[in-house]
Amino acid sequence: GAGVSQTPSNKVTEKGKYVELRCDPISGHTALYWYRQSLGQGPEFLIYFQGTGAADDSGLPNDRFFAVRPEGSVSTLKIQRTERGDSAVYLCASSPDRISYEQYFGPGTRLTVT
């Protein structure tokens, strides 16, 4: 079956602009996660959704970052007033439920802020 998909695969934007990154999880997966991977680093947790609600957004770096999952499936990560330090690969993962050990990752969106 289809895996986790993310769009766009690459996004180049100017400093100060607004961007949206989309994640389509595996069908039926109730848990969805966003991670950020900076160059030369491992992924770092941003936010976790169980169903439609953000159960834990403690990893979001500041209030310029926001994510939604209105129907419990597709999620959008939104970044306002982008800064050069936001440049990274943004990864989405999903799992069948909260206590599942395996998270299935998408290919990521590479965001470059110029």
Binding site for other proteins (CB under 8 A): 3-4, 31, 33, 35, 40-45, 48, 56, 59, 91, 93, 95, 98-99, 101-108
Residue 58: strand, helix, or coil: coil
Nearer to other proteins, 77 or 82 (CB): 77
Nearer to other proteins, 33 or 79 (CB): 33
Q: Give residues with Cβ within 8 angstroms of 42, minimum separation 6.
A: none
Nearer to other proteins, 33 or 82 (CB): 33
- Identify each DSSP E strand in 1-114 by its residue range: 5-7, 10-13, 19-24, 31-37, 44-50, 53-56, 65-68, 75-79, 88-95, 104-105, 109-113
Residue 56 Cβ, how far from other proteins at the closest point, in Å?
7
Phi, psi of 66 (to 5 degrees): -150, 150
What one-letter code names the amino acid at 72? Answer: G
Residue 95 Cβ, how far from other proteins at the closest point, in Å?
8
Residue 30 Cβ, how far from other proteins at the closest point, in Å?
12
Nearer to other proteins, 38 or 80 (CB): 38
Task: Say how many CA atoms lie within 13 Å of 109 toward its Cβ.
Answer: 26
